[in-house]
Chain A
């Protein structure tokens, strides 16, 4: 069984602050994929990133960066210089195996204010 923990229920920051969203993924499998999705107020699920368990290189995409550490099972997401448009619920998730179900965490609601 897999377990995804997003300990932060809600985070509120002021625009231009950096913010890190935490995620811990627990599984007995050695091969798995980790994901982050954004759910804006409009409700859709927007894919942000996929990482596999063998790739611990940090990834940066514009203001977004991800840090995966297999030793701690953490896959944290950092937004640099946050903007109001970043306000959303962010879900971390994991997949074990081929074309298998995606297990989501409970989500972190990020509120960015002016």
Chain B
């Protein structure tokens, strides 16, 4: 059984629209991460989240992005006004409780901005 799931698996949206990507860990975790991978490129860090606060973010994570845990379990990434260049695979990751400092990735959400 996967430790983390992501919904939706694929999202198509129009430029300028808001999207919310969801990450659902199977059990309690302390650290959450979002990464993105533009097609054919490397995986890039966006943001890390600990104790209901952002602990670190990259230059990519600008004001158009936000993260939260609205109900204490789901972990969401919101893009307020999508741009064409936001088209990518977005991965949620968690630190495995059983293995210190080991990041386990969800299956990803493919976001296509038209």
A residues with a Cβ closer than 8 A to B are 33, 35, 37, 43-45, 47, 50, 91, 93, 95, 98-107
Of residues 66 through 114 on chain B, the ones whose CB sits less than 8 Å from some CB of chain A are: 89, 91, 93, 95, 99, 101-105, 107-108, 110
Closest to A47 in B: B104
Is the CB of B28 closer than 8 A to any CB of chain A? no
With beta carbons under 8 angstroms apart, the residue of B30, B45, B55 that contacts A102 is: B45
Query: Is the CB–CB distance between A103 and B45 below 8 Å?
Result: yes
B residues with a Cβ closer than 8 A to A are 30-31, 33, 35, 41-45, 48, 50, 55-56, 58, 89, 91, 93, 95, 99, 101-105, 107-108, 110
CA separation between A93 and B93, bound complex, in Å? 14
Query: Is the CB–CB distance between A101 and B33 below 8 Å?
Result: yes
| A44-B108, A45-B105, A50-B102 given; A99·B95 CB < 8 A | yes
CA separation between A91 and B40, bound complex, in Å? 12
Total A-B residue pairs with C-beta atoms closer than 8 Å? 57
Q: Which residues of B contact A47 (CB under 8 A)?
A: 102-105
| A43-B89, A99-B95, A100-B48 given; A105·B42 CB < 8 A | yes
Q: Which residues of B contact A91 (CB under 8 A)?
A: 42-43
With beta carbons under 8 angstroms apart, the residue of A33, A43, A95, A101 that contacts B58 is: A101
Q: Which residues of A contact B105 (CB under 8 A)?
A: 37, 44-45, 47
